[in-house]
């Protein structure tokens, strides 16, 4: 079935013992199939072209992993990973990393990733910064009383100060958010917020049967944050954030 000579796109790795459900089509419309070795199953598609349109294929990649994760535990592989044929999937992924992958599959089985993202209400945040930062309110005053052309550097300085204050608040708010989830997750990854008004972006590894209980700290945090930060609570996701090196180095130190 496979053209063993062609390149293959790799979506993720699952246990060969549990049959992952595969969608009809993956990247570039190609079928999705499995390369099996030593109890591990890599989910792959044959790739004819050397060019992928990222916006379309990100979606395809995501759909394949979502579909498979609905029926089994999947270790997602980084987007746009292409190997030189089935042989390379075995020689460069499944064989050399067999122990680690097997252990990861074992430790992540029955667990999902939940995400809690905090987004600032920009107006509330800026008001707070003006109110609490004398340098900002003074400079704001000064800028407002001078013609635009004459205040160019003051405005840059003002924006820089504001930006710095936002950074400080991000640090503080992330710390507060992390504290709210202590004891509720097996592992936590704090990502740098990627959206511009992001306050924090946290990923939690949670046992599937604890997902319902996880709502309690989310709501408590939301109440504590008031209208400053709006929470988005997403999931369950495959454990994207928990498959890299650091996690593989040991069991979570708290639960």
Partner 1 sequence: MAVGTPSSGYLERPKPSGLADVIEVILDKGLVIDAYVRVSLIGIEILTIDARIVIASVDTYLRFAEAVGRLNLAEADDSQGLPELMESMTSGGAKSKTSGALEAVKEKITGGDDDDDDGDDDEKKTPSRSRRSSGSSSGSSSSRRRKSS
Contact range with partner 1 by CB under 8 A, out of 15-23, 31-39, 241-249: 241-249
226 lines the binding site for partner 1 (CB under 8 A): no
231 lines the binding site for partner 1 (CB under 8 A): yes
Distance CA 39, CA 139 (A): 65
37 burial class (0-12, 13-18, 19+ CB within 10 angstroms)? middle
The dihedral through the CA atoms of 178, 179, 181, 185 has a sign that is positive
95 lines the binding site for partner 1 (CB under 8 A): no
Residues that contact partner 1, how many (by CB under 8 A): 94
Contact range with partner 1 by CB under 8 A, out of 16-24, 30-38, 208-216: 208-216
Q: In the complex, what is the shortest distance from the CB of residue 112 to partner 1, in angstroms, rounded to a whole number?
A: 9
Binding to partner 1 (CB under 8 A) within 101-160 occurs at 101, 114-115, 119-120, 122-123, 126-127, 129-131, 136, 140, 143-144, 155-160
Contact range with partner 1 by CB under 8 A, out of 16-24, 32-40, 225-233: 225-233
Token pair in block for residue 26: 């993956």
254 lines the binding site for partner 1 (CB under 8 A): yes
Token pair in block for residue 111: 């667990």
| Residues 6 or more apart in contact with residue 87 via CB below 8 angstroms | 4
Distance CA 116, CA 27 (A): 29
| Residues 6 or more apart in contact with residue 164 via CB below 8 angstroms | none
Helix 134-144, helix 152-180: angle, nearest 10: 150
Contact range with partner 1 by CB under 8 A, out of 18-26, 33-41, 70-78: 70-78
Q: In the complex, what is the shortest distance from the CB of residue 99 to partner 1, in angstroms, rounded to a whole number?
A: 14
Cβ–Cβ under 8 Å, residues 119 and 229: yes
Binding to partner 1 (CB under 8 A) within 5-24 occurs at 7, 10, 12-13
Among 77, 105, 225, 229, binds partner 1 (CB under 8 A): 77
Distance CA 119, CA 198 (A): 4
Per-residue string for binding with partner 1, 40-69, x by CB under 8 A? -------x--xxxxxxxxxx-xx-------
189 lines the binding site for partner 1 (CB under 8 A): yes
Distance CA 94, CA 84 (A): 14
Token pair in block for residue 154: 């003051």
Query: Of the two residues 17 and 80, which places its CB atom closer to partner 1 in the complex?
Result: 80
Q: How far is CA 186 from the centre of its chain?
A: 16
Token pair in block for residue 126: 């800026």
172 lines the binding site for partner 1 (CB under 8 A): no
177 lines the binding site for partner 1 (CB under 8 A): no
244 lines the binding site for partner 1 (CB under 8 A): yes
Contact range with partner 1 by CB under 8 A, out of 14-22, 30-38, 242-250: 242-250
168 lines the binding site for partner 1 (CB under 8 A): no
């Amino acid at each position: 079935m496979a053209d063993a000579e062609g390149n293959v796109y790799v979506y993720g790795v699952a246990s060969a013992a549990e049959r992952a459900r595969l969608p009809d089509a993956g990247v570039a419309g190609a079928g999705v199939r499995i390369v099996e070795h030593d109890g591990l199953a890599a989910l792959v598609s044959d790739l004819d072209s050397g060019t992928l349109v990222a916006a379309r294929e990100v979606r395809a990649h995501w759909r394949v992993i979502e579909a498979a994760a609905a029926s089994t535990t999947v270790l997602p592989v980084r987007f746009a990973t292409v190997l030189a044929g089935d042989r390379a999937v075995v020689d460069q992924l499944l064989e050399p990393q067999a122990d680690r992958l097997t252990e990861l599959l074992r430790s992540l089985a029955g667990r999902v990733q939940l995400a809690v993202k905090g987004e600032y209400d920009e107006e509330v945040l800026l008001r707070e910064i003006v109110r609490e930062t004398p340098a900002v309110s003074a400079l704001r005053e000064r800028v407002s009383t001078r013609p635009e052309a004459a205040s160019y550097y003051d405005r840059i300085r003002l924006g820089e100060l504001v930006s710095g204050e936002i950074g400080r608040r991000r640090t503080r708010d992330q710390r507060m958010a992390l504290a709210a989830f202590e004891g509720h997750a097996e592992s936590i990854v704090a990502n740098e917020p990627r959206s511009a008004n992001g306050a924090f972006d946290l990923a939690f590894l949670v046992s599937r049967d604890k997902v319902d209980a996880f709502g309690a700290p989310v709501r408590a945090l939301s109440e504590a944050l008031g209208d400053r930060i709006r929470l988005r609570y997403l999931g369950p996701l495959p454990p994207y954030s928990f498959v890299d090196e650091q996690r593989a180095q040991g069991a979570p130190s708290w639960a």
